[in-house]
A and B are shown apart, each in its own frame.
Chain A
Amino acid sequence: MSNQLMIFADPDRCIKCWACQVACKQWHEIKAGTITRRRVIEDTSGTFPDVKRVFYSLSCMHCEKSACMEVCPAGAISKRVEDGIVTVDRDKCIGCHYCFFACPYGIPDYDDGGMDKCDMCLSLGTDENGRPMPHCVQTCPTQALYFGTKEEINKVLDEKNAAMVAGGRL
């Protein structure tokens, strides 16, 4: 799908400030201590003094072949044709948790209303081109989250690679 939208998290830039996680919760008015749509995870490797810490802002990947969609017994999960965003119809969802076990990243979270996950802030409206405006992307202080189609993100990554080769910024 060439118009598939993505939010790509760049581990080179992430500083684990959690701004993306907090922004998401604030904008979606998620109660503290309940569900989480985006979480920052860390992979620590090596031993002192050669410790490496890598951070990653993890959320729904809106997979091309969504395993969650296939296992949902109620057919509550669907993938939009126009932009590939995977959405859940909470009215249909019975909260069986099967999608949690299908998702490679264990993303689905649950409350009384059913399953909840990132929808790229689609529920908060779209811009004049019909694109959602994910708040995690807008909030990230290091611009570690890239939003766009595959081609748009590749272009950003190419520029970044070129800058790195030239000894520039990450």
Chain B
Amino acid sequence: MIALQTHWSWLPAIYLFLGGLSGGTFLVSSIVRFASGDRYDHLAKIAPWVSFISLAAGLLCLIAEVEKPFQAMMMWKSFVNFSSWMAIGAWLLFVSILVFLICALFSTPRICTALGELWKPFGTHAEGIVKVTMGIGSVLGFFVALYTGILLGAAPSIPLWDTWLIPALFTVSAMDAGASVTIAILLAEKDERGSKSHVNRLEAALLVLIVLEGAVIAALLTTMSGGTLSEALSASIMLSGSLAVPFWGLVVGLGLGIPGLLGIVGLTGVVKNSSVSRALKVAAVACALVGGFTLRFVILSSGIHGIMMSPDAYQAALGIYQIIS
């Protein structure tokens, strides 16, 4: 039985998930807001706040996870080595949080009005500020999602993470989560007839994302299973080892299968009862989010050093004998 990786466990998994959720939600909701002329009240008011709160919570999880949280909070001292992706990512997250917050503040009518009373130009340029922050925030959101995977990929000694497929997977998963959250918010819109068309389009996009995510997961595990012994052993932890149940049940079944199925049901309009249809959509969103979090957790927990479980890296250590001579 291979011992799981426990240095980065629950808290980092939550941090990576929230980072992806935040970036994905901001990007997808901003696309819908631009495409719809920002006519959806709930989307404008809720989506940026979801992004801001989840990213702030994620950053708090990151800080809580380290041995010296208070020292980590002094970012100008603790994240200074920019050859490290963790330092780059910390500042990227910090800037993103600010942009998401500004967008959220100016997208909330009451707060926007109050800011306008505080300083007139805020009121005059509110719409422009929202558009600019949505644009910048969308780019930042994409890179936040990508970064959560690059952080793992930049740790060179974990065979499972040493592939571009990890950043690709985390980015697609983030977009998946973002599309799911955006659908959930649109379902609450008063302008039902209008929002329905965007919900349908998003559901179609979500189906594509689900298929893409499944394909990337399959590519990752196939590549790993056919790679070195260390890579194959890492992949086997998820496929048939101690994490097989969470992987197949929660990541694949609950995270991809059920949302995919319910998405097809939703798009074909088989369920006529609108409350049941709505409930099924919400259930699909919940399943997608559970699956997304579990994906990060299993990828983290399966990230074992080669030397700790297989002879190939260990032999490399013994092989220093030959290298020195």
Contact = CB atoms under 8 A, between A and B. Distances in A.
B240 interface: no
Contacts of A71: 83-86, 154-155
A15 interface: no
B71 A94 contact: yes
A19 B14 CA distance: 41
A98 B324 CA distance: 28
A58 B59 CA distance: 35
B324 A73 contact: no
A102 to B, nearest CB: 5
Contacts of B320: 8, 61
Interface string A88-120: 000011111110111111100011111000000
Nearest to A158: B325
Interface stretch (A24-32, A79-87, A128-136, A149-157): A149-157
A75 B80 contact: yes
B84 A94 contact: no
> What DSSP secondary structure best describes chain B's contact surface?
helix
A150 B305 CA distance: 27
A104 B318 contact: no
Contact of A110 (B67, B87, B306): B67
A56 interface: yes
B156 A67 contact: yes
B193 interface: no
A11 B66 contact: no
A74 B77 contact: yes
Contact of B157 (A6, A11, A102): A102
Nearest to A41: B314
A45 interface: yes
A5 interface: no
B321 interface: yes
A43 interface: yes
A104 B306 contact: yes
B174 to A, nearest CB: 21
B67 to A, nearest CB: 2
Contact of A154 (B83, B155, B316, B324): B324
A106 B157 contact: yes
A153 B320 CA distance: 12
Nearest to A67: B156
A153 B308 contact: no
Given A43-B314, A71-B85, A94-B71, A101 B80 contact: no
Contact of B68 (A45, A58, A94, A106): A94
A106 B155 contact: no
Interface string A1-22: 0000010101100000000000
Interface in A118-146: none
A101 B7 contact: yes
B318 A54 contact: yes
Given A73-B87, A101-B157, 14 more contacts: A45-B311, A67-B156, A71-B85, A71-B154, A74-B87, A75-B81, A94-B68, A95-B66, A96-B67, A97-B7, A98-B86, A98-B155, A101-B155, A157-B321
Interface of A: 6, 8, 10-11, 41, 43, 45, 54, 56, 58, 61, 67, 70-75, 92-98, 100-106, 110-114, 150, 153-154, 157-158, 161
The 5 closest A-B pairs by CB, nearest first: A95-B67, A101-B155, A73-B87, A75-B81, A73-B86
